[in-house]
Amino acid sequence: MNKVIAIANQKGGVGKTTTAINLSACMAEKGKKVLIIDLDPQGNTTSGFGIDKSKIENTVYELMLDECSIKEAIKKIEIDGVDNLYIIPSNVNLAGAEIELLGINEKEYILKNAVDYISDDYDYVFIDCPPSLNMLTVNAMTTADSVLVPIQCEYYALEGISQLMHTIDLVKQRLNKKLTINGVVFTMYDGRTNLSNDVVATVKENLNTRIYKTIIPRNVRLAEAPSHGLPINIYDPKSAGAESYRSLAQEIIENE
Ligand code: ATP
Ligand code: MG
């Protein structure tokens, strides 16, 4: 089962949010019913779908603090041409959650207990993680069936990866026996540089895990889309970025 997929890498700016937004949108485009959970106080997934972070009543924060139900926290994405796509949004309030959850029983399972109620309603649930290995990321990993790891094609790509793999291992041993590594997806690949090719080769040599054949290219349309509040398949459906996320969605579906 690979229904609930956490997108995690504690390294900042590697393409977690870009992958979360565009992979979910491309899954939805293929007719899958998808929920995306923005588990990052930066709320970039939320704003990337054109949602005003300051105006939302129920976010993943209210959900985790038991101030609303999961059904109250889920919002339909309302973008022309987008169907089947739902979000639990986030904003900066979530930054305080770690402290507020201190001392709460089973705080590692708060998100999981909520998602278990509704996961049957969706084909896929993606969780966009913050760039740290904190209690929010642990909550994502106890909720998930598997972890998808975006790796940016740059010199320090492998930095922190062994720590991430160790964290996944610990969560698997102690908190969520079914957790697996879904795979690695390379992002921001620039075929004109040797560096991108070297990184891909090094990671393949060093990581004993599935590596998706689809490689996400560096594509300016992917960087522009969030400022228009649109996923890439709507913003520029024929761009290389859109094609690559469609292809990743297809690979993930075929891996079932
Ligand atoms: P954080 O750790 O802060 O949450 P992240 O891992 O979610 O970051 P993104 O926000 O997805 O990373 O990407 C970082 C920056 O790189 C953003 O400005 C994004 O628009 C840009 N970017 C991501 N992927 C691509 C790509 N394939 N081509 C061009 N720009 C990209
Ligand atoms: Mg992000």
> In this structure, which ligand is nearest to the CA of 9?
1
17 CA → ligand 1 middle, Å: 6
* Residue 61: C-alpha distances to residues 65, 175, 245 (Å): 6, 22, 29
User: Of 18, 90, 230, 243, which is best to mutate to test ligand 1, by the most ligand atoms within 8 angstroms of its C-beta?
Assistant: 18
Residue whose CA is closest, atom 5 of ligand 1? Answer: 13
Query: Which tens digits make up the pLDDT trace of 223-238?
Result: 999 999 999 999 999 9
How many Å lie between the centroid of ligand 1 and the Cα of residue 67?
A: 31
Element (H, E) at 23: helix 16-29
pLDDT at 231: 98
Cα(131) to centroid(ligand 1), Å: 12
Q: What percent of the chain has pLDDT over 70?
A: 100
Q: Are 125 and 115 in contact (CB under 8 A)?
A: yes
CA–CA distance, 127 with 36 (Å, rounded to integer): 6
Residue 199's pLDDT band (boundaries 50, 70, 90)?
confident
Q: What Å distances lie between residue 164 and 49, 229, 240, 244, CA to CA?
A: 28, 30, 29, 25
pTM above 0.95, yes or no: yes
Which atom of ligand 1 lies closest to the CA of 18?
11
pLDDT at 98 (0 to 100) = 86
In ligand 1, the atom with minimum distance to the C-alpha of 224 is 20
Give the orientation angle of helix 135-143 with respect to helix 161-174, to 10 degrees: 60
